[in-house]
Amino acid sequence: MCIFCRIISGEIPCQKIYEDDKVLAFLDIKPASVGHTLVITKKHYADLGEISEEDLSPLIVVVKKIGELIKTKLGMAGYSVLNNNGTAAGQTVAHIHFHIIPRTNGDGLITWSQRSYDPGEEEEIVKKLTS
């Protein structure tokens, strides 16, 4: 049983922000910023590729709800929503989850570096993704 399933079962405690029959939201124990929240499905899915659309819908609705709560109740300027899929993407728990990271102007949090496409590279990517 994964760590998130153990949290859902009550075996491991958490600081709950929201809970319904399909979704649980709780504070991350290693937050990137104050109020950093994880939103997970109660049914185990490894990642975004595995989850059914039926269970994805209520999950993303709660992500939006918690993000707006973070802005209004914690007085944050905004929030980042992050979902890692697979270990190469930084996923450390194989249970679908979204990070909601509270943001303030100039907080210094860097989400990713940026690059430019080489000549012709964009067209090749589009061909691969649309064929």
Catalytic residue among 36, 95, 97, 99: 97
**Phi and psi based region of residue 25 (left: phi greater than 0; alpha: psi -120 to 50; beta: remaining):** beta
Residue 103, CB-side half-sphere exposure with 13 Å CA sphere:
16
Q: Is the dihedral of CA 81, 32, 117, 85 positive or negative?
A: negative
Tracing tokens 């993303």 back to the chain, one arrives at 60
Task: Read off the tokens for 113.
Answer: 């570096």
Question: From start to end of 20-109, where are the E strands?
Answer: 23-27, 37-41, 78-82, 97-103
Is 97 catalytic? The answer is yes
- Mind telling me the catalytic residues? 97
